[in-house]
Amino acid sequence: MSARSSAALVGMLLEALDERPDLRTELAEMLRDERQTGSAARFIESTVAVGRVGLHPDTLVRFAREARVPRACKAGREWRFPADLSPADIIPARGNNLGALTRSGSRRWPSAALPSSFVAISGRI
């Protein structure tokens, strides 16, 4: 949205509020309630959230970047998570998840767990 269209939208909103004092009062009450409860109170930092879900902080942040944590949001450089976050809220990965593969005792992938792209390139079956 451009600055010009944003200004026009704000102007239209202010005109509508001038014409309807009941809407102005309702909006003021909604904003007052929000300010008193504080939206920040409904979110927690990643250091607190990891204790609730049992994940490493880097993993939880990666899941948030991948949109696998509902209602997670970024505030500046830090991620914030819903205060009621539980392990059941984390959305499982879809498709070929190489991060879930385990390695055998050797430093090679087990033959059954080779990524399909590697199999196609190397010709292994």
Domain boundaries along the sequence of the chain: 1-37, 40-92
Model pTM?
A: 0.46
Whole-number pLDDT of residue 64? 92
C-alpha dist (Å) from residue 80 to 8, 30, 59, 112: 32, 23, 14, 38
Cβ atoms 81, 43 nearer than 8 A: yes
Distance CA 9, CA 2 (A): 11
Please compute the mean of the pLDDT values over residues 71-91 and round it to a whole number. Answer: 89
| Degrees to nearest 5, angle at CA 55 with 52 and 61 | 100
pLDDT in tens, 11-28: 888 888 888 888 888 887
Q: From CA 56, how far away is CA 39, in angstroms rounded?
A: 25
